[in-house]
């Protein structure tokens, strides 16, 4: 059975995530290595500090480390996916799983990304549930300062940009629910250009390996193993749209029959099921879920 591993991003975090992995020696060693790199403890925050866990500066490294540990445990048992993809922050875990860079390199990138995104203070984001796509596309085309940030499924999207621009778009369309998101800025929009430029300084000298597993990227939802191309795609991600609906539609084109969501929550699995018929979904976010797939 051809399988894709998919990795959730910010918003999927939950207090207590990853703590049940501490009894595994290799997992504890990775948590300890992360503490050395970050200067603070992933475990302490995931165990005890819901406020910090919800803060972008901490959320993103916590998710990256926990999901990378699950990748390591799956691969240690000889399992490999036929393709990988991650939603926003999750793309870094997908690149790690595919072998584009090592754990430490990815964590340094995620640490800087999280710091820069946390400093964003302009604009906002609003989730839209139940809308007419043609109507939304028309409203976005006619409104300055707002873009489609996350194209998650046919019925779920997130727009990002100026507060006025978002209000204008929401006022122009019929939408079942419009939910302002609790984020510091207009992520995945041109308003993140300054953060993206700063991040690019850290990314520029890093060499991405050609990967052993095809990666579907947020800004270009087609599979590639070319390291240079994957790096260029990632470089565009902070300001670019997360094209998850198109990633989901690519899975059956690649012959994928099963998607394993590696990380907390069931968001990506739900989006894939609503977008693609015939793809089964498995969740691995805890030690017990891991052991149900990999006995012993």
Catalytic-labelled residue, pool 12, 87, 160, 188:
188
Told to judge if 76 belongs to the known catalytic residues of this protein, a careful annotator would answer: no
Of 12, 88, 217, 241, which is the active-site residue?
A: 88
Asked if 188 is an active-site residue, the reply is: yes
Angstrom distance (rounded) from CA 193 to CA 197 = 6
Q: Is residue 57 within 8 Å of residue 127, measured between CB atoms? A: no
d(CA 226, CA 148): 27
Residues noted as catalytic: 88, 188
């Amino acid at each position: 059975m051809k399988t894709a591993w998919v990795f959730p991003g910010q918003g999927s975090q939950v207090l207590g995530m990853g703590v049940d992995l501490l009894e595994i020696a290799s997992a504890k060693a990775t948590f300890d290595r992360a503490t050395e790199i970050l200067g603070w403890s992933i475990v302490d925050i995931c165990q005890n500090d819901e406020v910090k866990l919800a803060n972008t500066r901490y959320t993103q490294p916590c998710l990256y480390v926990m999901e990378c540990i699950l990748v390591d445990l799956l691969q240690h048992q000889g399992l490999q996916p036929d393709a990988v993809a991650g939603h926003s922050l999750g793309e870094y875990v997908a690149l790690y799983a595919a072998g584009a860079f090592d754990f430490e390199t990815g964590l340094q990138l995620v640490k800087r990304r999280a710091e820069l995104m946390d400093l964003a203070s302009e604009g906002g984001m609003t989730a839209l549930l139940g809308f007419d796509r043609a109507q939304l596309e028309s409203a976005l085309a006619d409104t300055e300062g707002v873009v489609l940030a996350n194209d998650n499924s046919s019925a779920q999207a997130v727009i990002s940009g100026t507060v006025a621009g978002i209000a204008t778009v929401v006022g122009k369309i019929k939408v079942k629910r419009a939910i302002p998101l609790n984020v510091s800025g207009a992520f995945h929009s041109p308003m993140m250009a300054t953060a993206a430029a700063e991040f690019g300084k850290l990314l520029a000298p890093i060499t991405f390996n050609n990967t052993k597993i095809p990666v579907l990227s947020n800004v270009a939802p087609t599979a590639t193993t070319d390291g240079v191309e994957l790096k260029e795609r990632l470089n565009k991600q902070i300001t670019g749209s997360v094209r998850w609906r198109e990633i989901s539609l690519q899975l059956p084109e690649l012959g994928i029959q099963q998607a394993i969501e590696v990380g907390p929550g069931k968001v990506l699995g739900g989006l894939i099921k609503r977008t693609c018929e015939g793809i089964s979904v498995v969740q691995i976010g805890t030690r017990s879920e891991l052991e149900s797939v990999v006995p012993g």
